[in-house]
């Protein structure tokens, strides 16, 4: 029996590691710190979080929302400091503060507060994050603003981006149609194989597209150690001035990690029927992000899609989550240099898909399918979702969550507004009959 559980964990961990390392590289590029930073995080974070976390079956690592904010942090640091070493030290400082604040939230037992944030606000800020991701990719590929045109030109890179996006779904569809056995299906990740196939095409046809840059990469353990030491915050960075400058960014990342991790934990609770220890989960995520920060990675959180996939692939123990990081680490050692053959536009296609995964689709689908526009309370829910989306996109995530939550409870007190249900599939079908009759 133990042998079967071990094999199930290996299979599940290996399957999810394909998505983890691919998305890790993509998120590293999106953050501005480089593919290597995302890959380091994809390896380190799941090992620490799964070992110490409060959710037994989980997959943690870089996520789209966390990366969107990390990109703002990195851009700000490089704009503020002309010296690259100081910029990297300031980035590391922010990520370390983020880790400390997440741990503090867990130690103060603030996990239960997640249940106070209304679903309408959560759906709205997730939509806002999705739009930020799409905006960033389209800005790069179309070279708007002050962006330089990617090597190969706009047309070639747009084609590669859209082809990758479409290929991910084509591979998933083909695997379902082929009705492959579970063992074979677990080895086919739409994201991973789309990257491989598009890279093979680009290399075979010698396409002059812009290639991926690893960022701060290393050729040996000794060199890696020197990089870690050079970019760890020095006395020049550990000052009150820079701490106050870093704190708002660290707080924003903390709020996002809190929401991202604990919402996923609640979803896993519903799937497995097991209660998560939310405060323990926060401490574990803080330790994981702190480790990644010191090793020059990017911060992350518990990832919903990867966590659900881990369970669907038959994971039995928390060792499966650890194996995600172990397999990702092996991939870094073996395949790191091959990443420089991948066109940047290929990872842009992956990120378009990541944005679509983050974006809420259930409420909008139910709104139109269920004819909810004739319901006043559904229209008010839509208004709150739109508010949180727009404030996240154009102003700030923290402001969207805090003000949106306060406004929701004011509306609930005066107008008895109801929150969006956790599962809208059955609700939309039943409610549509009531509205139309």
Q: Taking the model in full, what pTM does it have?
A: 0.78
Q: Which of 321, 341, 358 is the last residue of a domain?
A: 358
Q: Is 436 a domain residue? A: no
Give the pLDDT confidence score for residue 433 in this predicted structure: 44
Q: Is 195 a domain residue? A: yes
Residue the block writes with tokens 């799941």: 46
pLDDT of residue 2 exceeding 70, the answer is: no
| 301: helix, strand or coil | strand
- As a whole number, mean pLDDT of residues 365-373 equals 83
Q: In terms of domains, do 331 and 394 share one?
A: no
Q: What is the pLDDT of residues 120-157, one digit of tens each?
A: 988 888 888 889 888 888 988 898 877 788 898 999 99
Q: In terms of domains, do 53 and 76 share one?
A: yes
Q: In terms of domains, do 291 and 408 share one?
A: no
CA–CA dist 296, 96 (Å, integer): 10
Residue the block writes with tokens 């402001």: 399
Q: In terms of domains, do 374 and 288 share one?
A: no
Q: Is 116 a domain residue? A: yes
Q: In terms of domains, do 239 and 382 share one?
A: no
Q: Which of 314, 331, 358 is the last residue of a domain?
A: 358
Backbone angles phi, psi at 55, to 5 degrees: -110, 115
Of these ranges, 3-7, 183-187, 238-242, 272-276, the one predicted with the greatest mean pLDDT is 238-242
Q: In terms of domains, do 335 and 391 share one?
A: no
The first and second tokens of residue 435, run together, are 């509205």
The first and second tokens of residue 148, run together, are 């330089």
How many other C-beta atoms can be found within 10 angstroms of the C-beta atom of residue 88? 23
Q: Is 56 a domain residue? A: yes
Look at the chain and report how many structural domains it folds into: 2
**Mean of pLDDT over the chain:** 85
Q: Is 246 a domain residue? A: yes
Q: In terms of domains, do 155 and 220 share one?
A: yes
Q: In terms of domains, do 340 and 406 share one?
A: no
Q: In terms of domains, do 267 and 375 share one?
A: no
Enumerate the β-bridge partners of residue 60: 302
Q: Is 122 a domain residue? A: yes
- As a whole number, mean pLDDT of residues 49-55 equals 94
User: Residue 406 sits in which domain range?
Assistant: 362-431
Q: For 211, which DSSP code? A: B
Q: In terms of domains, do 226 and 203 share one?
A: yes
Q: Is 35 a domain residue? A: yes
Categorize the per-residue pLDDT at 432 as very low, low, confident or very high, splitting at 50, 70 and 90. Answer: very low
Give the pLDDT confidence score for residue 215 in this predicted structure: 63
Q: In terms of domains, do 212 and 249 share one?
A: yes
CA–CA dist 109, 111 (Å, integer): 6
> Bigger pLDDT: 434 or 140?
140
pLDDT of residue 300 exceeding 80, the answer is: yes
Least confident of 191-200, 259-268, 421-430: 421-430
In this structure, are residues 195 and 226 in contact, taking their beta carbons and an 8 Å threshold? no
Q: Is 437 a domain residue? A: no
Categorize the per-residue pLDDT at 436 as very low, low, confident or very high, splitting at 50, 70 and 90. Answer: very low
Q: Which of 358, 379, 399 is the last residue of a domain?
A: 358
Residue closest to 367 by CA, chosen among 424, 294, 284, 319: 424
Q: In terms of domains, do 346 and 399 share one?
A: no
- As a whole number, mean pLDDT of residues 391-417 equals 88
């Amino acid at each position: 029996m133990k042998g079967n559980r071990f094999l199930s964990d290996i299979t599940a961990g290996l399957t999810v590691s394909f998505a983890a390392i691919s998305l890790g590289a993509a998120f590293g590029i999106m953050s501005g710190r480089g593919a290597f930073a995302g890959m380091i995080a994809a390896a380190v974070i799941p090992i620490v979080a799964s070992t110490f976390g409060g959710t037994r079956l989980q997959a943690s690592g870089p996520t789209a929302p966390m990366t969107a904010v990390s990109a703002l942090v990195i851009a700000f640091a490089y704009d503020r400091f002309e010296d690259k070493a100081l910029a990297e030290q300031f980035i590391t400082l922010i990520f370390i503060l983020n880790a400390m604040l997440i741990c503090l939230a867990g130690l103060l037992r603030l996990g239960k507060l997640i249940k106070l944030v209304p679903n309408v606000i959560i759906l709205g800020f997730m939509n806002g994050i999705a739009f930020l991701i799409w905006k960033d990719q389209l800005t790069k590929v179309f070279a708007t603003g002050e962006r330089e045109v990617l090597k190969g030109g706009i047309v070639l890179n747009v084609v590669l981006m859209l082809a990758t996006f479409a290929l991910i779904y084509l591979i998933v569809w083909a695997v379902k149609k082929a009705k492959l056995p579970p063992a074979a299906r677990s080895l086919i990740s739409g994201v991973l194989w789309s990257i491989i196939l598009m890279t093979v095409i680009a290399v075979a046809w010698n396409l002059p597209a812009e290639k991926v840059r690893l960022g701060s990469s290393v050729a040996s353990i000794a060199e890696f150690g020197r990089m870690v030491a050079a970019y760890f915050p020095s006395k020049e960075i550990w000052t009150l001035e820079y701490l106050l400058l870093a704190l708002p960014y660290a707080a924003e990342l903390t709020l996002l990690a809190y929401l991202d991790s604990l919402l996923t934990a609640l979803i896993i609770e519903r799937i497995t029927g097991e209660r998560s220890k939310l405060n323990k989960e926060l401490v574990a995520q803080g330790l994981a992000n702190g480790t990644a920060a010191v090793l020059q990675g990017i911060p992350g959180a518990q990832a919903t899609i990867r966590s659900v996939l881990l369970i669907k692939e038959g994971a039995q123990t928390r060792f499966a989550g650890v194996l995600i990081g172990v397999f990702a680490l092996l991939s870094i050692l073996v395949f790191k240099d091959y990443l420089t053959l991948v066109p940047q536009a290929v990872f842009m296609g992956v990120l378009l898909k990541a944005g679509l995964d983050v974006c809420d689709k259930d409420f909008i689908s139910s709104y139109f399918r269920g004819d909810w526009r004739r319901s006043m309370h559904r229209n008010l829910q839509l208004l709150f979702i739109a508010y949180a989306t727009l404030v996240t996109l154009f102003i700030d995530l923290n402001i969207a969550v805090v003000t949106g939550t306060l406004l929701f409870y004011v509306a609930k007190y005066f107008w008895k507004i109801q929150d969006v249900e956790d599962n809208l599939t059955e609700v939309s079908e039943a409610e549509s009959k009531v509205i139309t009759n």
